[in-house]
Amino acid sequence: MSIYLDNAATTKPCSEAVKAVCDCMEENFGNPSSLHRAGLNAQIAVDNVRKIIAKSIAADPSCIYFTSGATESNNMAIIGSVGVYGKRKPRIVTTSIEHSSVEKAMEHLEQNGFEIVRISPDRNGEISHERIVNAVDENTCLVSIMMVNNETGYILPVRRSFYGIKKLYPQCITHCDAVQGFMKIPFKVSELNADIISFSGHKIHAGKGIGGLYLKKGIRLQPHIFGGGQEKGIRSGTENVPMIASMGAAVKILSKNISERYKKATDLKEKLCSKLSVIDGIYINSHEDASPYIVNISIPGIRSEIMLHFLEEKGIYVSSGSACSKGAKSGVLKEFGLNDSFSDSAVRISFSHETTVSELSQFVKAVEDAKESLVKSR
Ligand code: PMP
């Protein structure tokens, strides 16, 4: 039996999501754009999921759009909103700890003449809402801030930042990459003050290749995929109905007990950190008040990949940092102030609601074994 502690990279689809995919592929395989009954049934299934997702964040179903995942959602949000609102406003504010799907989109815009202001964590590894708000001016067309950092679990002050920005510059578009917060941290769109929110299916126990966007009524995006005009012309292409159904099934279940699961994760994190903190040479990089679902640690002297493979041998799966970067060195931990020996030995442990205390104890024991044998063998 393996112990899967890499839920920030991807999650195991829940049985309801798997069933929804199978049911849909066997019984509801129509094209939502077709005018006959089979098409209508598929359209009904898609719109039903729109309602489920909208309800989970207290939004209107007409504001929910489906995409192939959060990478596409983030690109659509950033490039698409700048295409409409950035004509005479060449400044964009973001942070230096965003996911590559935001950062690379920003680099693309930078090469096309936009000024990108990236706010870095301060000496305490924090980004205050005041610093974000102060970076915005009347020439700023977009502010893009993630809800939870995927490598450390750091929770960014999105609500307070967007509130401050909207008060001063109501025309400035606010985008939140909520991938690591969606279905983990309860939020309502009205409280978040976000014009656009990105989320992903495979981080919440649905299938891969599905995600979405919340787009506030009245906010426009310049489309980048042209075709049949699906998703109100913003994102053409036949809808991935089975995966949309899987996301609906997962959200339906998870949205019922976000707070209880948060408490459970908090308890797991506390237990894990108290076990780790008594071991010599292990450092916890995540803040105490970070997302309870993600714990980032460093074991200086043992490179992340070595530790990862040692644990893998014992059937324990963790990440060496951001799984999306395929082992490439992430600059994000450096941004949080970690020096080379800390960032080169960083290991990310990320929970799901299925993670148990016993699994974490086995993980801690394996790390102790690793320290013993890897340090000895050098
Ligand atoms: N943003 C964040 C914060 C993420 O963690 C990820 C996935 N690692 C993404 C965006 C990209 O999501 P997807 O895999 O659905 O493209």
Map out the domains of the chain as residue ranges: 3-11+257-376, 15-254
* H/E stretch holding 51: helix 37-56
Closest C-alpha residue for ligand 1 atom 13: 70
- Catalytic: 324? yes
Among 2.40.30.10, 3.40.640.10, 3.40.50.920, 3.40.50.2300, what is the CATH number of 15-254? 3.40.640.10
Q: Given this model, what pLDDT does residue 322 score?
A: 47
Residue 121 DSSP label = P
Cβ-proximal residues to 174 (8 Å cutoff; 6+ apart), any chain: 142, 143, 145, 162, 165, 166, 193, 194, 195, 196
* Residue whose CB lies within 8 A of the most ligand 1 atoms, among 151, 203, 322, for a mutation test: 203
- Beta pairing class for 3-4 and 64-67: unpaired
Task: Give CA–CA dist 156/293, Å, rounded.
Answer: 15
- Residue-wise pLDDT tens for the chain (378 aa)? 899 999 999 999 999 999 999 999 999 999 999 999 999 999 999 999 999 999 999 999 999 999 999 999 999 999 999 999 999 999 999 999 999 999 999 999 999 999 999 999 999 999 999 999 999 999 999 999 999 999 999 999 999 999 999 999 999 999 999 999 999 999 999 999 999 999 999 999 999 999 999 999 999 999 999 999 999 999 999 999 999 999 999 999 999 999 999 999 999 999 999 999 999 999 999 999 999 999 999 999 999 999 999 999 999 999 986 444 555 667 899 999 999 999 999 999 999 999 999 999 999 999 999 998 886 555
Task: Give CA–CA dist 72/78, Å, rounded.
Answer: 10
Amino acid at 144: S
User: Which residues line the pocket of ligand 1, CB cutoff 6 A?
Assistant: 69-71, 74, 99, 101, 146, 150, 177, 179-180, 200, 202, 211, 324
For residue 357, the CA-to-ligand 1 centroid distance in Å is 27
From 22, 141, 172, 324, active-site residue? 324
* Residue whose CB lies within 8 A of the most ligand 1 atoms, among 179, 325, 332, for a mutation test: 179
For residue 99, the CA-to-ligand 1 centroid distance in Å is 7
For residue 378, the CA-to-ligand 1 centroid distance in Å is 36
Q: In what order do the strands lie in the sheet with 294-298?
A: 283-284, 294-298, 346-350
Q: Given this model, what pLDDT does residue 1 score?
A: 84
* CA proximity to 211, closest of 187, 193, 194, 231: 231
Strand ranges (E), the chain: 3-4, 64-67, 91-95, 115-119, 140-146, 173-177, 196-200, 211-215, 283-284, 294-298, 316-317, 346-350
What is the CATH number assigned to the segment(s) 3-11+257-376?
3.90.1150.10
